[in-house]
Structure 1
Amino acid sequence: MNKLSNETSPYLLQHAHNPVEWYPWGDEALQRAIAEDKPILVSIGYAACHWCHVMERESFENEATARIMNEHFINIKIDREERPDLDHIYMDALQAMTGSGGWPLNMFLTPERLPFYGGTYFPPVKAYNRPSWQELLLALSDAFKNRREDIETQAINMRDHLAQASKFGSTINLLPKEEQFTRNQCDIIFSNIMQQADKEWGGFGNAPKFPGTFIIQYLLRYYHSFGDQTALDQALLSLDKMIQGGIYDQAGGGFARYSTDAKWLAPHFEKMLYDNALLVDVMSEAYLLTGNPLYSITIAETLTFIQREMTDAGGAFYAALDADSEGVEGKFYTWSKAEIDEILGEDADVFCRFYDISEEGNWEETNILWIKQSLSAFAAEHQLDESKLSEQLAIGLAKLMEVRGQRVRPGLDDKLLLGWNALMIHACCKAFAATGEGSYRNMALKAMDFCWTHFRKDGEESFYHTYKNGQAKYPAFLDDYAWLIRALIALQEVTGDKIYLDRAFSLTTFVLQHFSDESGVYCFYTVESQSDVIVRKKEVYDGATPSGNAIMAANLWYLGIVFDQKEWGERAMKMQAGQAQTTVRYPTSLGVWAGLLLQRVQGVKEIAIVGPDYKLKMEDTNKHYIPFKVLLGATQDNPEIPLLSHRERANETLIYVCEDYHCIKPVNYIDEIINLK
Structure 2
Amino acid sequence: KRPRPHLDDKVIVSWNGLAISAFARASQILKSEPTGTRFCFPITGCNPEEYLGVAEKAARFIKEKLYDSSSNRLNHSYRNGPAKAPGFLDDYAFLINGLLDLYEYGGKIEWLMWAAHLQVIQDELFLDKQGGGYFNTPGEDPSVLLRVKEDYDGAEPSGNSVAAINLIRLSSIFDAAKSDGYKCNVEHLLAVFQTRLRELGIALPLMCCAADMLSVPSRKQVVLVGNKESTEFRDMVAAAFSTYDPNRTVIQIDPRNTEEMGFWESNNAIIAQMARSSPPEKPAVAHVCQDFKCSPPVTSADALRVLLNKTVAAATSSAAA
TM-score normalised per structure 2: 0.78
Residue 568 of structure 1 and its aligned partner are, at CA, apart by: 1.3
Match of 2:306? Answer: 672
Q: Who is 2:316 aligned against?
A: none
C-alpha change, 1:412 and 1:583, in structure 2 (3 Å) is same
2:88 equivalent among 458, 464, 477: 477
Q: Secondary structure at the match of 1:412?
A: coil
Tell me how far 1:509 sits from its aligned partner.
0.7
Q: Is the 8 A contact 1:633 1:644 kept in 2?
A: no
| Residue 429, structure 1, aligned to residue 24, structure 2 | yes
- Pairing of 1:458-497 with structure 2 (within 5 A): 458-497=69-108
Aligned AA for 1:424? A
| Partner-residue secondary structure (3-state), 1:469 | coil
Structure 2 equivalent of residue 639 of structure 1: 265
Distance 1:664 1:435 in 2: 28
How much has 1:552 moved relative to structure 2? 1.3
Which of 578, 586, 590 is the matching residue for 2:192?
Answer: 578
CA displacement at 1:459 relative to structure 2: 2.2
**RMSD across aligned positions (CA):** 2.2
Aligned to 1:504: 115
How many angstroms apart in 1 are the aligned matches of 2:88 and 2:168?
21
Which of the numbers 119, 143, 151 marks the counterpart of 1:540?
151
Go from structure 1 to structure 2 and tell me whether the alpha carbon gap of 1:461 and 1:426 turns closer, same or farther (over 3 Å shift).
same
| 1:612 partner letter | N
Give a deviation string over 1:534-586, Cα, whole Å, max 9, x none. Answer: 21111132122111112112112221221221111222122224334432432
**Matched AA of 2:265:** P
Following superposition, the deviation at residue 326 of structure 1 comes to 5.2
Q: 1:628 to 1:643 in 2, by over 3 A?
A: farther
Q: Distance in 2 between matches of 1:646 and 1:605?
A: 18
What code does the residue aligned with 1:418 have? V
Give the Å deviation of 1:415.
Answer: 1.2
Give 1:667's aligned amino acid: V
Give, as a single letter, the amino acid of the residue that structure 1 aligns with 2:223.
A
2:127 is equivalent to residue 516 of structure 1: yes
Q: Secondary structure at the match of 1:472?
A: coil
Residue aligning to 2:206: 592
Deviation of 1:663 (Å)? 1.6
Q: 1:576 to 1:658 in 2, by over 3 A?
A: farther
- Any stretches of 5+ residues in structure 2 without a counterpart? 32-47, 256-260, 313-321
Deviations 1:264-295 (Å, cap 9, x if unpaired)? xxxxxxxxxxxxxxxxxxxxxxxxxxxxxxxx
Q: Does the Cα contact within 8 Å between 2:222 and 2:250 map onto a contact in 1? A: yes
Choose from 142, 162, 170 the match for 1:531.
Answer: 142
Residue type of the alignment partner of 2:108? D
CA–CA distance in 1 between the matches of 2:141 and 2:311?
Answer: 45
Point out where structure 1 has 5 or more consecutive residues left out of the alignment.
1-324, 328-407
**1:563 aligns to what?**
174
Taking the aligned partners of 1:454 and 1:505, their CA distance within structure 2 comes to 19
Query: Which AA in structure 1 matches 2:296?
Result: K
The answer on whether the counterparts of 2:131 and 2:192 sit within 8 Å (CA) in structure 1 is no
In terms of mean alpha carbon deviation, does 613-622 or 475-484 score higher? 613-622
| Whole-angstrom CA distance in 2 between matches of 1:473 and 1:619 | 41
Using the size of structure 1 for normalisation, the TM-score is: 0.38
Partner SS, residue 186 of structure 2: helix
State the structure with bigger RCO (CA 8 A, min sep 6), 1 or 2.
2
Change (3 A) 1:642 1:424: same
Relative to structure 1, the CA distance from residue 411 to residue 438 in structure 2 (aligned partners, 3 Å threshold; closer, same or farther) is: farther
Q: Percent identity?
A: 27
Superimposed CA distance per residue, residues 449-480 of structure 1 (whole angstroms, 9 cap, x where no aligned partner): 11111111252310100110124320100110
Which structure would you say has the larger Rg? 1
Corresponding residue of 1:663? 294
SS state at 1:608 partner: strand
Partner of 2:8: helix, strand, or coil?
Answer: strand
Specify the code of the residue in structure 1 equivalent to 2:80: N
Which residue does the alignment assign to 2:44? Answer: none
User: 1:192-218 deviations in whole A, cap 9, x for unaligned?
Assistant: xxxxxxxxxxxxxxxxxxxxxxxxxxx
Shift of 1:411: 4.9
Count of matched residue pairs: 272
SS in 1 for 2:223: strand
Distance in 1 (alpha carbons) for counterparts of 2:223 and 2:112: 14
Look up the equivalent residue of 2:109 and give its one-letter code.
K
